[in-house]
């Protein structure tokens, strides 16, 4: 799974916004494929440049603990 970190400690969230954001990685929108995460970042960048954004691989089982 992948998540998009827009800024340090700020993640794309699965709710409405410009784009929706969360400060908790466990609430971040999860993407099954890297290309889907890239597309999510592309959509977010329609609102703001998010120059330092990163796509990160996560282990969902680690988040559940």
Each residue of 7-43: pLDDT tens digit? 999 999 999 999 999 999 999 999 999 999 999 999 9
Given a cut of 80, whether residue 60 has pLDDT beyond it is no
Tell me, what's the pLDDT at 62? 66
Q: b/e per residue, 36-53, with b = 16+ CB within 10 A?
A: ebeebbeebeeeeebeeb
More confident residue, 48 or 65: 48
Given a cut of 60, whether residue 65 has pLDDT beyond it is no
More confident residue, 18 or 60: 18
Q: Are 29 and 3 in contact (CB under 8 A)?
A: yes
Q: Strand (E) positions, the chain?
A: 2-7, 10-12, 21-22, 54-57
Tell me, what's the pLDDT at 59? 86
Q: What would you measure as the largest C-alpha separation in the chain, in angstroms? A: 34
């Amino acid at each position: 799974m992948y998540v998009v970190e827009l800024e340090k400690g700020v993640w794309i969230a699965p709710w409405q916004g410009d784009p929706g954001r969360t400060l908790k990685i466990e609430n971040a929108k999860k993407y099954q494929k890297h290309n889907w995460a890239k597309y999510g970042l592309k959509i977010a960048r329609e609102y703001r440049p998010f120059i330092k954004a990163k796509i990160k691989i996560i282990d969902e089982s680690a988040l559940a603990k």
